[in-house]
Structure 1
């Protein structure tokens, strides 16, 4: 019987085999083989053990694993605002990259990862009988964000000297003005009429303020001052981690007055999920009822966040300056609101008129004079 210097241990519900051994310099190695096939796991374990021996005894440069690069990257980025989304992507990537060395992650591997993510259902919805279904695949934007995360981790590993090169990862740039969806007024009316009663107030409040979904649903009465006609988002609730004060227009005020009339004493939420004192707000507004209402209203699919785009688009078309819109929406940079600029070119009219005289000097006046002369001769 062949005696190996390592052990293979099945772990988890699927019985994935893990390799365990001690290197010549006394360091314990415990890694997943990524397979339940004992022959493949044994072959892989023998290769890993030999590599560790050459590193310890012959002084060769160690080959780093994807998981090591992830741990190092995560340590430097754990305060990132979108770290939870990154963790979700990393968990999804683990079966594909978790057992690979950095030099094994090439263009073919990344193409497979990208295609697999693209083919996945976007959101699973639940029918009344308990079964789930989906009618939409993962968007290219979601895939691109995952690929950008992979690129960031590989580049970080290269800077640490763990890899010699990074495979080319091309990510399609957003199209700017076309990179969002917004409702026309007719679409908004149709969608409102099809929404369930409990979704209509937060829907109208989002259109009136441009607030994000959780900022609307988690709004407390302590954040509202009806006499001053203002409401505010606390710093920890804002995406930019900076408190936002918002003046309330008449539409927003009407919604808040209606909600106050229905308020149960002691309930702190503006949009509670029930009529009891301890009723909490809804976890999400973009639920199955939200998407069902869109189908009944014959509205192209849109996310709840698109109501923020709708609010901004309506503002620009009504003449609100981009600078004012940036302050109202709580954006940190002017670049964020430039996507809406194409909806209101009127503010450039004065600049367009500046070269009128130059154009007339070049030939427009002379062409007009020649036309009038020809007409007179006729």
Structure 2
């Protein structure tokens, strides 16, 4: 599920183009026109804490437009489910493109942890050992961490599952040692900053990566790293899908080429010749 900040940003981007249109205008040609409109460079000005203004040109690429149009699709789906629309409306999304095969080595993760703030360090450790998304980790409260049963329940009781899967995971002994130590700190959530919940770790992870001198790091790369390590270390397809709460199709498509079992049976058959 997208964070509140991401939803707000997407709605802000959608409104100027779609705000004056009706639902019957949602079709392939209009969606492609929106993509072209968002691709146009625009100038934005930001003001730092010391009052310094910075001006830069930005444009939205296909991944950003996909995310924004996905929010539009979700709104239309909700309207149809509530009976506000008689027929479902399909939003045409840009092609997703290839997923970047960027994952961190163990040395890079060690460097990242060394240069991270304490709450970011907690987030990184949880991400590496569980392979969960940033929002899922930041929502984790202590009452869903059972150190006696060695179990973390990322989804609250009664919470419906979404396509951004959460599920539950058994706690590896290395993570358990961290959790025991962290549990002595007062607070409702596992990851907190100065007694407050954390809404986003995007900037914190970026700052740690910059200080460590590591390029291509964001909060999503940590999930990618966790699954890649698991597969490289010999997890079977079914085990990886269950532990990381990710479909076998995704594991096979994006991670399985890292596995020592990749094409193993095929090679054995060929070698019999």
From 208, 227, 231, the equivalent of 2:152 is 231
In the alignment, which residue of structure 2 is the partner of 1:207? 128
In the alignment, which residue of structure 1 is the partner of 2:83? none
Q: Considering only aligned residues, what root-mean-square deviation do their CA atoms show, in Å?
A: 3.9
From 95, 98, 115, the equivalent of 1:172 is 95
2:94 counterpart SS class:
coil
1:281 deviates by 1.9
In the alignment, which residue of structure 1 is the partner of 2:237? 322
2 CA distance for matches of 1:124 and 1:249? Answer: 46
Q: What 5-or-longer segments of structure 2 have no aligned partner?
A: 81-85
1 CA distance for matches of 2:26 and 2:149? Answer: 62
From 217, 241, 256, the equivalent of 1:341 is 256
Contact kept, 8 Å, 1:205 with 1:252, in 2: the verdict is: yes
1:242 deviates by 7.1
TM-score (norm 1): 0.56
CA gap of 1:190–1:324, structure 2 versus 1, over 3 A, is: same
CA gap of 1:111–1:188, structure 2 versus 1, over 3 A, is: same
1 CA distance for matches of 2:19 and 2:248? Answer: 40
1:350 deviates by 3.3
- For the pair shown, the structure with the greater C-alpha radius of gyration is 1
1:246 counterpart SS class:
strand
1:323 counterpart SS class:
helix
CA gap of 1:120–1:225, structure 2 versus 1, over 3 A, is: farther
2 CA distance for matches of 1:215 and 1:105? Answer: 33
From 286, 298, 303, the equivalent of 2:218 is 303
1:269 counterpart SS class:
coil
For residues 68-107 of structure 1, the aligned pairs below 5 Å read 89=10, 91-99=12-20, 107=29
1:270 aligns with 2:190: yes
What are the Cα deviations for residues 235-262 of structure 1, in whole angstroms up to 9, with x where unaligned? 428644877221111221121022123x
1:116 deviates by 3.3
1 CA distance for matches of 2:201 and 2:161? Answer: 18
2 CA distance for matches of 1:240 and 1:86? Answer: 16
1:183 counterpart SS class:
coil
1:138 counterpart SS class:
coil
1 CA distance for matches of 2:101 and 2:38? Answer: 22
1:291 deviates by 1.5
Q: What 5-or-longer segments of structure 1 have no aligned partner?
A: 1-80, 359-378
In the alignment, which residue of structure 2 is the partner of 1:253? 176
CA gap of 1:282–1:94, structure 2 versus 1, over 3 A, is: closer
CA gap of 1:242–1:128, structure 2 versus 1, over 3 A, is: closer
TM-score (norm 2): 0.74
1:231 counterpart SS class:
strand
Contact kept, 8 Å, 1:210 with 1:308, in 2: the verdict is: yes
2 CA distance for matches of 1:349 and 1:254? Answer: 36
Contact kept, 8 Å, 1:114 with 1:147, in 2: the verdict is: no
Contact kept, 8 Å, 2:65 with 2:94, in 1: the verdict is: no
1:124 deviates by 8.8
